[in-house]
Structure formats: C-alpha cells, structure tokens
C-alpha cells in the first residue's frame, strides 16, 4: 500500500511538472510554431520539439523539487527525479544560464542549488 | 591581419595607431580568440576577460581598423607590390548595423544546443553570441540548428534578423599581410589511451578553463561532469600532444607545464583540501620566468609532481579514474582520482591561403619564420609576416611581444614601399 502511495505521489509530481512545463513560454512557443506556416523546417521541428518537451518537463520537476524542499545537490535531485546525474547537471547548467537557479553553498561533496529570487 | 586573437589585436592596434588602415579579419563571430575562453592568465593571475575585453572593444572602435568578423580569408594573390585579398563574409542572418545586442531574440529562441565556446559544457540558442562580452555585440544565427520558426524575427525591435542574407565576397588590397591565425588545442581523441572520448571525468585543460571561469557555464564552480561532485583528488597528465606519446612528441607546446601549474594553484584555492598531482614524462619546461612559480606550487600549495611513464586511465563504476603508470625506477603505480585533466598541446589552425602565397610551414605545421635576427616574424614570402601561436606554440606574453615586433617590421616594410597614406590617431 505504502509503495503504491509513493508511486501515486511520484506520478502526481510528474503531472504537476508537465502542467508547469506547458505553462512555460518556451514550450508554448514551440507548440505554436507548427501553426506559424511553411517556413518551419518540418523534420527538424519534429525532432527538436519532442526533445524540448521532455527537457521542459524534466526541468519543471527539478525546479519543483528545489522549490518544495529548498536547496538541493545534483545527487539529491537525481534521486528525486529519477534522472541520471549527468542529465540533472545539464539542466542545472541551462537553468543557471537563464537565472532560474544559482549555487547556495555545498553539501556532502556537491554544490547546492537554490531557486534564484 | 588574419585573425583577431591576442596577437592580431595587438598588432592591429599598433599599426592602426601609426595611421595605417588595417583590415582585421576574424573567422569567429567575436574577436578575442582563445584568450576569451581563459579564466586567469599566468603568472600574475590577471583575469583574462578584464585584461582583454577593453582591447577587444578598442579594435572594434578604432577609426583605422576595418573589422571583419565571421569572415575568412580565402585567397591572397600578389600583384606587384600589393596583395589582393579575397575575404568571405559568412552570413550571420542578422544585420550587423541594425542589431543592438539586446538578446531578446535568444531569450525567445526555443532551440538549445551545446556551446562550442564553453567546450560544450554550456548551452546556447540557435541565435547567439558565443559569450557575454563578445565583440561585436551582434547576434548570429546558426542555420544548422535553426528551425526557421521566425520567433527571433518577430521579437526583434530593430528588425535585424534577415534570413535572406547570402555569403559575400569582399576584395581588398593590402601592402602587407600579418598572419595571426593562432592555434587549436590538440584533440586528445587522436590518441585515446587516456580515454578522453569515453569518460566524462577526463577533461582537457581548456574545458577546465571554462569551469574555472567566473563567466563560464558553472560560474567558476569546478565539478565532475558525470555527477556534479566536487573533485577532491585531481590528476594532471602532461604532454598530451601531437605525435606518438610513447616514442616522443613532434614538438613541445611550451605552455602546458605553466597552465597546468596555474590551474593546480587555482584549484587548490577553490578546493583547499584537494589532493593534486601532476604526472609528467619529460622534464618540465625550464623557463627562468617561471622558476619561482613552480617552486611555490610545490612548497606553498603542496602540489605533487611525479615523473612517470603513463600506461592507461580506466574508469571505475563510481566514475572515479584509475591512473596506471610506471615510475622512474620501473615500479608499477596505480592512483585513483576523481578527475583527470589532460594538458593538451597546441596545433596550428588551418589556413586557405598557404599555397597561394607559397608560405613554408615547419614540421609541426606552423608558419616558418626566416628572419636573420631572433624575431621570427618574417615568413618565406616578402611582405607576409607572422605573429603569435601561428608561428609556433607560445604563451600570451610572448605572442604580444611578437605581435609588437611584427607590427614594427610591417610598418617599416610599408614605409619602404612608399606612397602609403597614413592618418595617425591618438587613442584615449
């Protein structure tokens, strides 16, 4: 029963992340592009848009985790999101660049990341 | 002037100040060359960006310098005393005269790819400037990755995005040529016994520079690319250079010993409890400028230096790395490290005009100098000079000195040709 509950909780988290992801401008733009017109490179668009969708949902899971629990390390974020550490680091570097997350000290041999004000 | 790295910038400013008109041609979207990628410059540990950004801006503003970025010299032909230079201006798909560098386009671009400038650790959009202090502050669209969605075009207030731009060939006449095309870091995949291509935690010296840089992708936080851990045991492997490392290199890259020592010190300041070892096979470069520097690294910073013959680097399931080597006395050594840095050497950057100008190259592929004095800036063709790492591996200080000398010789040569109109300017 307990296992089932935590599975449900994880699914809820992922759904929340997906909802948040679809609220982001980046994803809305990408989904909107397909209606923009003949200029768009159709093949490239298909490949890129699915990658962007996955990235945005993963990033919302990371942001959600940090917002809920406070500063987190790459390792902790990896455990919470089930994404591997390398992927989490890639997302952190991208989120850091646009000012969404920043470093907040160290913990157990890794940097902590917080949501930027 | 071919190339706008440290040597190109230095020589261009020198000649332009004397009143010569200088066409400064740079193949990348920004001037700055390799120095723009660096964190701090040895031996004084000056911030690379603080030192060089003002000079990068100066070349862009100088009334006597015609700056052609994102352009390549395709051909140079001699006609009597003058050179006819063919320059290909690659399309940025952004109007240089209209773009204000505000960056709203990049904020809207949905495409995200690895940024080569950050040695692919950082990310950039399909419309981009390679780094925040790029000069000129003009965006470029990377058509290979662009979706042609037009969002950038819609949001650009200056209407600078222009998908119709075509490559443009510009022909200019020059009295003298200075080649300052610089170097590329040696690609360690070329002999992969240190497993650079397989393991995330085996990185090059240049990648470490991006990690150490305060404006880099991690904001100066050094971490392992496999898992984000802060490395505590760090090993440097020297002489990762062209040629077979077991039978000896073709040439010494001169800078690796010093940059590794500098990086070891910077790492020690960043991670005080780090255990840092430098493995070298050949004696460290003896340069009287740096004797004290090496001494300090060992005594003050506790950096260990071992002369060994390396055999291999293998990864453990923890992503830690096992370095296997043979000591001087023939004893096998095994050392576990969290991160391995390959001190890669310098290789020449390719040029399209070598054959047309009948320029001689040395064994390493660098431009050969034929001076009778010790300057090493006169190439095998009259009127063509070389400066910086294009002539052979050298550090920033030496490149700048050589660029000064090249500007001096070029200026003397041009004055001898006569009938050059100069308008000297004084810079503020």
Interface test mutation site (partner A, options B103, B127, B142, B227, max chain A beta carbons within 10 A): B227
User: What confidence score (pLDDT) does residue A11 get?
Assistant: 84
Query: What pTM did the predictor assign?
Result: 0.93
Does residue B235 or residue A44 have the better pLDDT?
Answer: B235
For B4-21, the pLDDT digits (tens) are 999 999 999 999 999 999
What single DSSP character describes residue B261? H
Picking from B115, B147, B198 by the largest number of A CB atoms within 10 A of its own CB, the best residue to mutate is B147
Asked if B229's CB is within 8 angstroms of A110's CB, the reply is yes
Average of per-residue pLDDT across B213-217: 96
Distance from CA of A1 to the nearest CA of B (A): 33
Mean residue pLDDT across chain B: 92
Task: Assign A6 a pLDDT band (cuts: 50, 70, 90).
Answer: confident
Q: What is the signed CA dihedral for B154, B159, B164, B169, rounded to 10 degrees?
A: -150
- Domain residue limits, chain B: 6-90+167-182+349-417, 186-345
How many Å apart are CA B207 and CA B213, to the nearest integer? 10
Residue B148 contacts A where some CB pair is shorter than 8 Å: yes
Q: Which residue is closest to A104 within chain B, CA to CA?
A: B221
Give the distance, in angstroms, between the CA of residue A3 and the centroid of all CA atoms in the same chain.
24
Domain with residues B186-345, CATH architecture: 3-Layer(bba) Sandwich (3.50)
Instruction: Provide the pLDDT for residue A81.
Output: 95
Tokens 């969002």 correspond to what residue?
B151
381-410 of B, contacting A, C-beta below 8 A: none
Residues 6+ away with beta carbon under 8 Å from B260 = B205, B236, B238, B278, B341, B343
Interchain CB distance below 8 Å, A52 and B112: yes
> Are B244 and B191 spatial neighbours (Cβ–Cβ below 8 Å)?
yes
Q: Does B111 touch chain A (CB under 8 A)?
A: yes
Same CATH topology for B6-90+167-182+349-417 and B186-345: the answer is: yes
| pLDDT of the residue at B247 | 44
A85 vs B contacts (CB less than 8 Å): 226-228
What b/e sequence results for B215-225 when a residue is b if at least 16 CB atoms lie within 10 Å of its CB, and e otherwise? bbbbebbbbbb
Q: Which of A30-39, B79-88, B140-149 has the lowest mean pLDDT?
A: A30-39
Contact: A110, B226; criterion CB under 8 Å:
no
**Which helix or strand (DSSP H or E) is residue B347 part of?**
strand B346-348
The CATH class given to the B6-90+167-182+349-417 domain equals alpha beta
A32-77 pLDDT per residue, tens: 765 555 567 778 888 888 899 999 999 999 999 999 999 999 999 9
pLDDT of B251-295, one tens digit each?
889 899 999 999 999 999 999 999 999 998 877 666 777 778 888
Q: Which of B53, B47, B46 is nearest to B6 (CA)?
A: B53
Name the DSSP letter for residue B76. Answer: E
Chain B residues with CB under 8 Å of A33 CB are 110, 147, 149, 151
Query: Can you read off the two tokens belonging to residue B168?
Result: 């443009």
Of residues A44, A55, A103, nearest to B221 (C-beta): A103
* pLDDT confidence of residue A41: 74
Per-residue pLDDT, B249: 66
**For residue A2, what pLDDT band results from cuts at 50, 70 and 90?**
low
Give pLDDT tens digits for B327-352: 889 999 999 999 999 999 999 998 88
Q: Select from A29, A75, A97 the Cβ nearest to the Cβ of B227.
A: A75
Whole-angstrom CA distances from A84 to A76, B224, B365 are 11, 13, 43
Work out the widest C-alpha separation in chain A, in whole angstroms. Answer: 53
Cα A63 from chain centre: 6
ipTM of predicted assembly, 2 dp? 0.91
């Amino acid at each position: 029963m307990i296992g089932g509950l935590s599975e449900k909780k994880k699914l809820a988290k992922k759904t929340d992340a997906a909802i948040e992801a679809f609220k982001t401008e980046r994803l809305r733009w990408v989904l909107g592009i397909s209606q923009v017109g003949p200029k768009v490179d159709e093949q490239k668009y298909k490949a890129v848009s699915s990658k962007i969708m996955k990235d945005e949902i993963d990033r919302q899971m990371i942001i959600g985790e940090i917002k809920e629990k406070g500063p987190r390390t790459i390792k902790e974020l990896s455990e919470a999101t089930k994404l591997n550490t390398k992927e989490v680091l890639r997302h952190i570097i991208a989120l850091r660049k646009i000012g969404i997350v920043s470093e907040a000290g160290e913990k157990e041999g890794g940097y902590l990341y917080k949501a930027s004000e | 002037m071919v190339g706008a790295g440290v040597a190109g910038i230095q020589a261009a400013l020198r000649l332009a100040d004397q009143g010569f008109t200088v066409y400064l041609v740079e193949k990348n979207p920004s001037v700055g060359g390799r120095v723009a990628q660096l964190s701090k410059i040895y031996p004084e540990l000056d911030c690379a960006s603080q030192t060089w950004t003002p000079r990068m801006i100066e070349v862009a503003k100088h009334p006597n310098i015609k700056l052609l970025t994102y352009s390549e010299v395709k051909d140079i032909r001699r006609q009597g005393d003058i050179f006819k230079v063919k320059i290909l201006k690659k399309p940025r798909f952004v109007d240089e005269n209209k773009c204000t560098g505000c960056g709203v386009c990049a904020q809207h671009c949905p495409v995200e790819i690895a940024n080569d400038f950050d040695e692919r650790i950082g990310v950039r959009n399909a419309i981009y400037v390679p780094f925040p202090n790029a000069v000129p502050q003009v965006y470029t669209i990377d058509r290979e990755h662009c979706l042609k969605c037009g969002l950038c075009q819609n949001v650009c207030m200056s209407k600078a995005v222009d998908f119709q731009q075509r490559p443009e060939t510009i022909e200019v006449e020059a009295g003298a040529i200075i080649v300052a095309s610089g170097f590329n870091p040696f690609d360690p995949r070329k002999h992969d016994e240190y497993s650079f291509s397989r393991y995330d935690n085996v990185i090059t010296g240049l990648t470490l520079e991006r990690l150490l840089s305060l404006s880099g992708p991690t904001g100066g936080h050094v971490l392992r690319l496999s898992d984000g851990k802060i490395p505590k045991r760090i090993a440097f492997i020297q002489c990762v250079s062209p040629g077979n490392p077991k039978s000896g290199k073709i040439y010494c890259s001169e800078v690796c010993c010093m940059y590794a020592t500098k990086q070891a010190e910077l790492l020690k300041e960043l991670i005080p409890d780090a255990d840092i070892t430098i493995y070298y096979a050949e004696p460290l470069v003896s340069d009287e400028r740096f004797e004290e520097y090496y001494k300090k690294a060992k005594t003050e910073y506790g950096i260990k230096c071992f002369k060994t013959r390396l055999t291999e680097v293998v990864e453990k399931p923890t992503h830690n790395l096992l370095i296997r080597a043979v000591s001087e006395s023939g004893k096998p050594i095994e050392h576990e490290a969290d991160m391995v840095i390959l001190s890669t050497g310098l290789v020449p950057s390719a040029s399209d005009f070598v054959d047309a100008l009948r320029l001689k190259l040395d064994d390493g592929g660098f431009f050969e100098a034929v001076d009778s004095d010790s300057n090493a800036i006169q190439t095998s063709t009259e009127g063509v000079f070389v400066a910086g790492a294009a002539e052979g591996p050298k550090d920033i200080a030496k490149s700048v000195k050589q660029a000064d000398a090249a500007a001096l010789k070029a200026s003397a040569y041009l004055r001898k040709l006569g009938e050059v109109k100069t308008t000297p300017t004084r810079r503020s």
